[in-house]
A = this chain, B = another copy of it.
Amino acid sequence: MIRVGIAGYGNLGRGVESALRDAEDMETVGVFTRRNPASVKTATGIPVYAWSDAENMRGKIDVMILCGGSANDLPTQTAELAAYFNVVDSFDTHAKIPEHFEQVDAVSRAHGKISVISVGWDPGLFSLNRLYGQAILPNGKDYTFWGKGVSQGHSDAIRRIPGVKDGKQYTIPVEEALERVRSGENPELSTREKHTRECFVVAEDGADKAAIETAIKAMPNYFADYDTTVHFISQEELDRDHAGIPHGGVVFRTGTTGLSGEQKHVVEYKIQLDSNPGFTSSILVAFARAAYRMQNDGLTGCKTIFDIAPAYLHPSSPEDQRKSLL
């Protein structure tokens, strides 16, 4: 059994706790938290340790899965824990991946461990489909659409507007754009043509709703480049109808082959998720298996989904994989 620890216990940590129960070859050692351990109660009753206890668990945990956020937690936590364990994180600040990679790689190499960073679906499975698509159809174009799903960043941006009590934002791919790509047309699509944004807003009592709507729609980077709709609803409606964290998206690669590019091909990878953290945590668990096995094979250092042979992810042996999956 692969012994796994969970560092951080928010939505993602709870998802990993659940996903580990579905992994036949893994056992959960416990949760590590920077809060007071006595204040944290886990959903399945697994033990809770203080963050500072992690160092003393060297040799008792094969892989630590980091479940913190990319903005404030992972930039320091992954490298910290990489000194003691094989680690897996979901660092998703695309622009800072090279820097994060270098930092974590140095620690993992120095300690003979494996680290896997930026695991999830984007970065992650979507990246993988962009890479396979480009490698196989060099004469082509790729398209990434996100949604329909909740964007945490955009929801936060809404909630920072004066007069807004609560709110949630859905990113929605434009169906017509999807169909144009699917048809093999290879369109050039503007930001506005690819996605729309839908906001559900709870206003404070007496707030100026028209001013809120204008403030949302005019917000640069977040909303100004999109067709945005704003719905004002009650807190009860928000809690009842928008409690989930669904998400999804599509990666396309369209391209041509043949001596004069006469053969068109369309490759489409699409996900529809009831729960973004539920799915992401399941991916993290599969890559924890890979991290453990790679270290057993004598490998060290930082890896991304691009560097990991798919066989490492699946619980069955390479022989069984060739027999029943290939």
| Assembled-state Cα–Cα distance A278/B98 (Å) | 35
Q: Does A19 contact B (CB under 8 A)?
A: yes
Residue from B259, B265, B279 within 8 A of A18 (CB atoms): B259
CB-CB under 8 A from A127, the residues of chain B are 325-326
Would you call A313 an interface residue if the criterion is a C-beta within 8 Å of the partner chain's C-beta atoms?
A: yes
Copies, count: 2
| Interface of chain A residues 67 through 112 with chain B (CB within 8 A) | 94, 97-98, 101
Q: Give Cα distance in the complex from A321 to B134, angstroms.
A: 11
Cβ of A268: which chain B residues have Cβ within 8 Å of it?
268-271
- Given A128-B310, A136-B283, A310-B305: A265 touches B259 (CB 8 Å cut-off): no
Query: Which of A23, A139, A257, A286 counts the most B-chain CB atoms under 10 A from its CB?
Result: A257
Q: Cβ of A171 < 8 Å from any Cβ of B?
A: no
Report the minimum CB–CB distance from A266 to chain B (whole Å): 5
- Complex formed: what's the CA distance from A287 to B140 in Å? 18
Size of the A side of the interface (Cβ < 8 Å), in residues, is 71
Most chain B CB within 10 A, of A18, A44, A94, A322, is at A322
Whether A307 contacts B309 in the complex (CB less than 8 A), given A43-B259, A268-B268, comes out as: yes
Q: Which of B136, B264, B272 contacts A274 (CB 8 A)?
A: B264
In the assembled complex, the Cα of A304 lies from the Cα of B90 at a distance in Å of: 28
A309 surroundings in chain B (CB, below 8 A): 306-309
Does any Cβ of B come within 8 Å of A22's Cβ?
A: yes
Q: Is the CB of B259 within 8 A of A275?
A: no
- Set of chain B residues within 8 Å of A310, measured between Cβ atoms: 128, 131-132, 135, 305-308, 310
Q: How far is the CA of A220 from the CA of B151 in the complex (A)?
A: 52
- Indicate with 1 or 0, residue by residue over A135-158, a CB within 8 angstroms of chain B CB atoms: 111110000000000000000000
Task: Confirm or deny: A236 has a beta carbon within 8 angstroms of a beta carbon on chain B.
Answer: no
Rounded to whole angstroms, the CA-CA distance of A134 and B313 in the bound complex is: 9
Q: Which residues of B contact A274 (CB under 8 A)?
A: 262-265
List of B residues within 8 angstroms of A271 by Cβ: 265-268
Report if A178 contacts B (CB, 8 A): no
B130 to A325, Cβ gap below 8 A? yes
Tell which of B136, B262, B322, B326 touches A282, judged by Cβ atoms closer than 8 Å: B136
A163 within 8 A of B: no
Q: Does A319 contact B (CB under 8 A)?
A: yes
Q: Is A13 an interface residue (CB 8 A)?
A: no
Given known pairs A309-B309, A325-B306, the reply for A131 and B266 (CB within 8 Å) is: no
B18 touches A286 (CB 8 A): no
**Binary CB contact string for chain A from 297 to 324 against chain B (1 if under 8 A, 0 otherwise):** 0000000111111110111001101110
Return the 9 tightest CB-CB contacts between A and B, nearest first: A257-B278, A135-B313, A263-B275, A263-B274, A306-B311, A263-B278, A135-B286, A268-B270, A135-B314
Q: Can you name 16 extra interface pairs (CB under 8 A) apart from A22-B139, A306-B321, A307-B309?
A: A22-B257, A44-B259, A94-B326, A97-B323, A125-B136, A132-B310, A258-B278, A263-B274, A263-B275, A264-B274, A265-B271, A267-B270, A268-B268, A305-B326, A306-B311, A308-B309
